[in-house]
């Protein structure tokens, strides 16, 4: 009896570890530690002071950070032809190399690097996020194709919340030492990803799609609990003086909440395991034998379209919306051009605000202790934006046929309010602006990535997913480096000239007052509003498509799989 129980327990444990839900849980953990680029506002001041950079130079570093984080076409192409574990392994190497070299430079353990070297280190470290994103997110979307809005909302939400999670761990490990934060983000994501390296994989189709999606619905309550706790603890840390023990306690609770979804995984898979044991069916879900770079489409069906033709022959003769496009067909599509333009202005504007929060706070006279608070607020509301837009757009789409691009236009319009508040420096409004910028930035990503998957199919989603993300660094360079950074330094030099001072070589520029960012954010507000208008063009182009049942083929496949399994048993 004991031997039989142990064997059953071993069988169930193996079933859980190889299950679809455990794969989703592992993806959430990896992405919960993959948001190091969102912490730039905490340690950017240390980079600026220790290396003697002006604001334009610091914004140039910020641009290369976001270039690395969003120039993910390389990880997408690799993911088309290589196994997922290889993609994640490259992310591990990039993460440790980039951030560890940055830590050596900022901490003074190596000679001051040249600017291009610092740009390279930061770009490499941030680019690791794209490999984690591609490996985990694309795999989950392909494993749960009929609920991609909800899935994307949770996974992108985990990245958005990761900044606040890592901040709590940073305080517990290193207190207020911002330089050590760079060391933390050099080793922590590497450790977590290494543990689950072989867990993330494309799995064979199963008829439990609706049951599996219940996991994500229940997960919402746990993730909201984590976000709520982080919000409360951030407020307390702002009002009270936390000891080392206090930080350690809060970090422990955060880790327990981060790992709590394993309860949902075990509960859900136990029901599946018992049912399959009674039916004497296969107890373990297996990895699909089809490689990601093979000729299978997003539903597992073999695609013969274009197999004998040159990839350039049908570039300007794409299939209908919702069908599998080739990479070039999607790239030269008017829909992609319109979406890319809206993303450039929308994401570029909100990301400029987020990356400059530390400098904006200093310019407007906020205490230095508020900087970490701003970053944490951005992280939490980034998560709320991602989860909310994922769930809300899925509900409005299913019940009312509301085009997902319309939700994107609403989010862009809302972000204009945050830009205006920053531009005019309304007293004590930066806390609200941080939350609004985080929410709008986060809300854009599930919408943009779901729109890409719905319009262009999932066959080449690894590449198209990252192609859409490539609009972010374009907008960031224009609005952050050429606009915000340039106008900040111009105002700082004017203030020095008014005081009769001249800038010394290697001295960083400091600007104080509303005028430091007012012209820049008025321009950013106008650009974001243009992005809102452009997204309305996509609404008009796709309204008929979204009125239909865009997930019909996945539902039909699920029914066929269910019928096949019933017949087999």
Contacts with 284 (C-beta within 8 Å, 6 or more apart), sequence order: 14, 15, 18, 19
Q: Is residue 534 part of a domain?
A: yes
Q: Kindly report whether the global pTM for this prediction surpasses the value 0.85.
A: no
The CA–CA distances, whole Å, from 431 to 368, 371, 436 equal 13, 10, 9
Q: Is residue 3 part of a domain?
A: no
DSSP per-residue letters across 134-154? IIIIIHHHHHSGGGHHHHHHH
Residue 502, token pair as written in the block: 């001249």
Helix (H) or strand (E) holding 550: none
User: 362, 46 in Cβ contact below 8 A?
Assistant: no
Q: Is residue 220 part of a domain?
A: yes
User: 164, 234 in Cβ contact below 8 A?
Assistant: yes
Q: Is residue 178 part of a domain?
A: yes
pLDDT computed for residue 322 by the predictor: 80
User: 72, 466 in Cβ contact below 8 A?
Assistant: yes
Q: Percentage of the chain surpassing pLDDT 90? A: 33
Q: Is residue 121 part of a domain?
A: yes
pLDDT winner (highest mean) among 74-83, 116-125, 199-208 = 116-125
Q: For residues 419, 420, 425 and 431, what is the CA-based torsion angle, rounded to 10 degrees?
A: -50
pLDDT at 259 > cutoff 80: yes
User: 468, 346 in Cβ contact below 8 A?
Assistant: no
Read off the CATH number of the domain in which 529 is found.
1.20.1250.20
Contacts with 133 (C-beta within 8 Å, 6 or more apart), sequence order: 31, 34, 72, 75, 159, 466, 469
Residue 368, token pair as written in the block: 């230095």
pLDDT digits (tens, 9 = 90+) for 464-515: 887 877 788 788 889 988 899 889 989 998 999 888 887 776 666 789 999 9
pLDDT computed for residue 72 by the predictor: 73
What total number of domains does the chain contain? 1
pLDDT computed for residue 555 by the predictor: 52
The position carrying tokens 């910020």 is 62
pLDDT digits (tens, 9 = 90+) for 14-44: 888 888 889 999 999 999 998 887 788 788 8
Residue-number span of the structural domain to which 32 is assigned: 20-273+325-498+506-568
pLDDT digits (tens, 9 = 90+) for 99-112: 999 999 999 899 99
Q: How confident is the model at residue 279 (pLDDT cuts 50, 70, 90)?
A: low
Calpha distance 524→32 (Å, rounded): 30
Calpha distance 265→22 (Å, rounded): 6
Q: Is residue 296 part of a domain?
A: no
Range 294-312 average pLDDT: 42
pLDDT at 294 > cutoff 60: no
250-264, 397-411, 465-479, 554-568: which has the minimum mean pLDDT? Answer: 554-568
- What's the distance, CA 26 to chain centroid? 16
Q: Is residue 7 part of a domain?
A: no
Helix (H, G, I), strand (E, B) or coil at 371: helix
Q: Is residue 1 part of a domain?
A: no
């Amino acid at each position: 009896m004991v031997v039989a129980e142990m064997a059953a327990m071993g069988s169930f444990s193996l079933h859980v570890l190889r299950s679809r839900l455990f794969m989703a849980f592992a993806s959430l953990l990896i992405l919960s530690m993959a948001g190091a680029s969102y912490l730039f506002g905490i340690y950017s001041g240390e980079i600026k002071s220790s290396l003697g950079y002006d604001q334009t130079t610091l914004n140039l570093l910020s641009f290369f950070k976001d270039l690395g984080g969003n120039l993910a076409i390389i990880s997408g192409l690799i993911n088309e032809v290589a196994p997922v574990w290889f993609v994640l392994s490259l992310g591990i190497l990039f993460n440790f190399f980039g951030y560890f070299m940055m830590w050596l430079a900022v901490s003074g353990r190596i000679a001051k690097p040249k600017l291009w070297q610092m740009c390279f280190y930061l770009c490499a470290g941030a680019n690791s996020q794209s490999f984690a994103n591609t490996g985990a997110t694309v795999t989950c979307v392909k494993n749960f194709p009929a609920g991609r809005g909800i899935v994307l909302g949770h996974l992108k939400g985990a990245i958005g919340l990761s900044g606040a999670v890592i901040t709590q761990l940073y305080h517990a490990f290193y207190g207020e030492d911002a330089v050590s934060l760079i060391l933390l983000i050099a080793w922590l994501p590497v450790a977590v990803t290494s543990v689950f390296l072989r867990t993330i994989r494309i799995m064979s189709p199963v008829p439990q799609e609706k049951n599996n999606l219940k996991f994500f619905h229940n997960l919402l309550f746990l993730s909201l609990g984590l976000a709520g706790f982080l919000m409360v603890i951030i407020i307390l840390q702002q009002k009270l003086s936390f000891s080392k023990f206090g930080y350690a306690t809060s970090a422990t609770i955060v880790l327990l909440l981060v790992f709590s979804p394993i309860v949902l995984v075990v509960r859900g898979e136990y029901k599946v395991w018992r049912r399959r044991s009674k039916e004497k069916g296969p107890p373990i879900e297996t990895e699909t034998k089809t490689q990601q770079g093979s000729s299978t489409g997003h539903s597992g069906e073999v695609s013969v379209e274009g197999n004998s033709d040159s990839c350039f022959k049908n570039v300007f003769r794409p299939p209908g919306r919702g069908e599998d496009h080739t990479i070039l067909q999607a790239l030269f599509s008017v829909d992609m051009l319109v979406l890319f333009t809206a993303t450039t202005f929308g994401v570029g504007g909100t990301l400029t605000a987020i990356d400059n929060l530390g400098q904006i706070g200093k310019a407007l006279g906020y205490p230095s202790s508020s900087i970490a608070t701003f970053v944490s607020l951005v992280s939490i509301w980034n998560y709320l934006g991602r989860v909310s837009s994922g769930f809300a757009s899925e509900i409005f789409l299913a019940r009312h046929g509301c085009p997902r691009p319309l939700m994107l236009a609403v989010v862009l319009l809302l972000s204009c309010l945050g830009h205006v508040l920053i531009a005019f420096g309304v007293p004590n409004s930066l806390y609200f602006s941080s939350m609004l910028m985080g929410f709008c930035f986060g809300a854009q990503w599930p919408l943009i990535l779901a729109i890409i998957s719905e319009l262009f199919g999932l066959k080449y989603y690894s590449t198209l997913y990252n192609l859409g993300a490539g609009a972010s660094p374009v907008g960031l360079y224009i609005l952050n480096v050429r606009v915000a950074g340039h106008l900040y330094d111009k105002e700082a030099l004017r203030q020095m000239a008014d005081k009769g001072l001249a800038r010394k070589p290697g001295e960083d520029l400091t600007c104080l007052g509303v005028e430091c960012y007012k012209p820049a954010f008025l321009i950013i507000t106008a650009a974001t509003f243009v992005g809102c208008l452009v997204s309305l063009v996509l609404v008009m182009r796709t309204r008929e498509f979204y009125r239909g049942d865009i997930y019909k083929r996945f539902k039909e496949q699920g029914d066929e799989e269910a019928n096949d399994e019933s017949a087999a048993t």
